[in-house]
Structure 1
Amino acid sequence: MEYGEHLYNRLGYVGKHEYILQKLRELGRLLICSRKTTPLKTINDHIRPANFMHVVQAVKHVAGYDRETQTYKCLSLALKIGHSLSKIAMLVESQANVQNDYSAAKDVRTFRRVYDAKWNELISAASLRTLQESKWNAPQLLPFTKDVQTLHSYLDVQQKHIQSKLSTETSPETWTQLAKVTLTQVILFNRRRAGEVSKMPLSAYLSQNPSDPQEDVNAALSDLEKKLSAF
């Protein structure tokens, strides 16, 4: 909970709430796994130097480590949990120093030294290797221009149909359909992930430059790109 409070104080704006929830869910999964497979019961147990190998065991288990192939099912989970544990250790050490609990601070410093010396060897190296190998074998699929044109034409027809429908009868369902079509058009135009576009404020959308593009820029655009830029 204190780690969540730290993240909220540092990244507390609405756009980062899901990120904070994700970090806490990752630690929750680790804690559940640790209680089933190791003697560790609390997060504080995970940052004690004597428990380091139990922590390694639990992280490997929750990330789906395969001993035979030395690969992980959840490629980045082990890396993310390791980063969170390192941050928690720093927070606990700071709190112990503020409270003049130098014995606890020394214990956490020892854990951090062990972490720095062994974590990459036992966890990170295999995770990064698995992540890199998965990228080698992942083909990059690019859409055909004809497919993009077909999608854009379909969205254009749907937009006009829904707007016509709204002019005669309004309903929450119709507004939702229009919002989805508009969001898809913006994603298609910017070629960005849905999460990035969905966080764009309305002010940015409304402050678009209505002026015509310069002639030399226009000459370099295809008919499809000209139509998209008009959007």
Structure 2
Amino acid sequence: MTLSKTYISLIELLSRMNHDEITDEVQKDVLIRMYAALKVESLGREQDHKINDFHRVSQSCRTLARVVIKCREKSEHIIDMDKLIVARNFDLLVSTAKSMCLNDAKAAPSLGKLIGNNISHIIQVKKGFALREGNNTKLEEAENFQRLFTLEWTYRVNSVCQKMTNTINRQKVKTIPLTEDLLTLKSYISESMVNAADALMKIPTAAVWTRLAKLTLCRLILFNKRRRAEVKDLKLEDFQSRPDWQHEQRGEFEMALSTSDRIMAKRMDMVLSAGKSRKNVDAYVLLPPDAKKAIELLNSTRMIVGISGTNPFLFARVNSDTPLSGNEDLKEILDLCPGLIHPKRITSTGLRRYIATVSQIFDWSESELDDLARHLLSHATKELTVVSQLLTAVDNGCVNKWKGKQL
């Protein structure tokens, strides 16, 4: 990592932070700055970034800065992160982390695991800094702290936070969307997509384009039962450069498919999206015919309605380089859709919970269950056939007809 790259990455990250006491702490703390620069550089090329990557790094840095500030309130000699990463201060870190995430008034048990993960990186940063400086004292401090961290953090923080999380989850009533609500919403979206598409073809305007984009985005979230980010963050290039699945799956794979599987594979199209984490790179987004047709119309009218040429996203905002939010758009469509009984249950999380529940009606083989889990596949044929059959059955509200049957 060159000095110039480190400096540029750091400046870019800090410029995105809100200016407050926590940002000031990030700016003056050497180890947190080095950690920030390393994390930003690890994101790779700009075109490979996810839209929230910088935000995640920023939040990690701010969390570390908060830890230092809280520790300093308990012990004045904690000047910065370097002074905290010493074995004699490990107990102070543990008590501070617990006070930050297990406070009964505003419990945030997931914060304990986040703090631990960030601290584990900071230890490595301190070791790297010490090696570059040839400072054996700081290197020994980091190594001794790491020994304590490895020995005790899981027992004293992670396990306690996990037990609290389990208790909180047990107290929550986990509801799923009503099937009749999903059918009503699908009908409303499909009809509205047709009307919006007709209006866009007659008089292309930014307002009508955005209307169709929101409807199509919600259609895909509703059909795929995926995390909204995996749909909203689709890029124009993802759609335009997608493989010709019909051509790719010819030969032995096609011969092995049943008649219904071949029909489904020809009916469906698919785009690969980045998954929840950087490791999960194969998030398959199935495109039912109506959504594919709408996307093609949106793409053909982007320039006409004034979508910026620098906006890479399929569901782009007008006069911006960012995508539609997905969450707010789904809420907007839900508010406009008449006849819904429990609209608040229809969220991307609720939809994933719904598909996991109704899939139990089917007589799944072990491999088919694995395919479904990985949708929620390493092989596109399975995604275009087995999983798409389930999603289509759910989309049409006829899951009950498949009770105890195989797809």
TM, length-normalised to structure 1: 0.81
State which of 229, 238, 255 in structure 2 corresponds to 1:195. Answer: 229
Mean CA deviation greater in 76-85 or 48-57: 48-57
Q: Which moved more, 1:101-110 or 1:199-208?
A: 199-208
Q: Is the 8 A contact 1:158 1:181 kept in 2?
A: yes
Which one of the candidate residues 144, 149, 153 is aligned to 1:110?
144
Distance 2:73 2:127 in 1: 27
Match of 1:42?
80
Taking a change above 3 Å as real, the CA distance of residues 72 and 109 of structure 1, as seen in their structure-2 partners, is farther
Report the Cα distance in structure 1 between the residues aligned to 2:41 and 2:139, rounded to whole angstroms: 23
Q: CA, structure 1 residues 150+38, in 2 after alignment: closer, same or farther (shift >3 Å)?
A: farther
Q: Report if the CA contact (8 A) 1:38-1:58 is conserved.
A: no
**Alignment gaps of 5+ in structure 2:** 1-32, 247-256, 265-385, 397-407
Task: Please list every run of 5 or more consecutive structure 1 residues that lacks an aligned counterpart in the other structure.
Answer: none
Q: For 1:216, give the aligned amino acid.
A: S
1:216 maps to 260
Q: Deviations over 1:177-227 (max 9, x none)?
A: 22221111111121101111122232333437686x964236995896497
1:14 is aligned to 49
Given candidates 24, 30, 36, the residue that maps to 2:61 is 24
Distance 1:173 1:28, change over 3 A: farther
> Match for 1:53: what amino acid?
D
Seen in structure 2, the aligned counterparts of structure 1 residues 34 and 160 have a Cα distance that, compared at 3 Å, is farther
Equivalent residue, structure 2, for 1:54: 92
Out of 206, 209, 213, the position equivalent to 1:172 is: 206
- Measured against aligned partners, the alpha-carbon deviations of 1:48-83 in whole angstroms (never above 9, x if no partner) come to 2222222122212222434xxxx9811211111111
Does structure 1 conserve the Cα–Cα contact (< 8 Å) formed by 2:183 and 2:395? no
C-alpha RMSD of the superposition: 3.1
Secondary structure (helix, strand or coil) at the match of 2:234 reads coil
For residue 181 of structure 1, what is the aligned residue in structure 2? 215
Judge conservation of contact 1:48–1:111 (CA < 8 Å) in 2: yes
> Which amino acid in 1 is paired with 2:70?
C
Instruction: Give distance in 2, aligned partners of 1:128 and 1:160.
Output: 48
Instruction: State how many pairs are aligned.
Output: 223
Query: What is aligned with 1:85?
Result: 119
| Distance in 2 between residues matched to 1:182 and 1:3, nearest whole Å | 40
Matched, 1:74 2:118: no
Structure 1 pair 150–210 and aligned structure 2 pair: CA distance change class (3 A)? farther
Amino acid at match of 1:7: K
- Matches of 2:391 and 2:39, distance apart in 1: 47
How far has the Cα of 1:147 moved from its partner?
A: 1.6
**CA distance, structure 1, for counterparts of residue 59 and residue 153 of structure 2:** 22
Quick one: distance in 1 between partners of 2:168 and 2:36? 31
Distance in structure 2 (CA, Å) of the matches to 1:103 and 1:210: 59
With over 3 angstroms needed to count, the CA separation of the structure-2 counterparts of 1:81 and 1:118, relative to structure 1, is same
- CA–CA distance in structure 1, aligned partners of residues 42 and 129 of structure 2: 17
Aligned to 2:37: 5
Q: Higher helix proportion, which one?
A: 1
Partner Cα distance (1:225, 1:91) in 2 = 51
Equivalent-residue separation in structure 2 for 1:192 and 1:37 (angstroms): 44
In the TM superposition, residue 10 of structure 1 has moved relative to its aligned partner by 2.0
Change beyond 3 A, Cα 1:155–1:35: farther
Give the structure-2-normalised TM-score. Answer: 0.49
CA 1:126–1:227 in structure 2 vs 1: closer, same or farther (change >3 Å)? closer
Distance, in Å, in 2 between the alignment partners of 1:182 and 1:205 is: 14
Distance 1:223 1:117 in 2: 46
Q: Secondary structure at the match of 2:211?
A: helix
Equivalent position SS for 1:30: helix
Mapped to 2, the partners of 1:2 and 1:223 lie a distance apart of 46
Residues 204/59 of structure 1: CA separation in 2 closer, same or farther (3 Å cut): same
Identity, % of aligned positions: 22
For 2:260, give the aligned amino acid: D
Q: Which moved more, 1:83-92 or 1:113-122?
A: 113-122
| Equivalent in the alignment of 2:129 | 95
Letter in 1 for 2:179: T
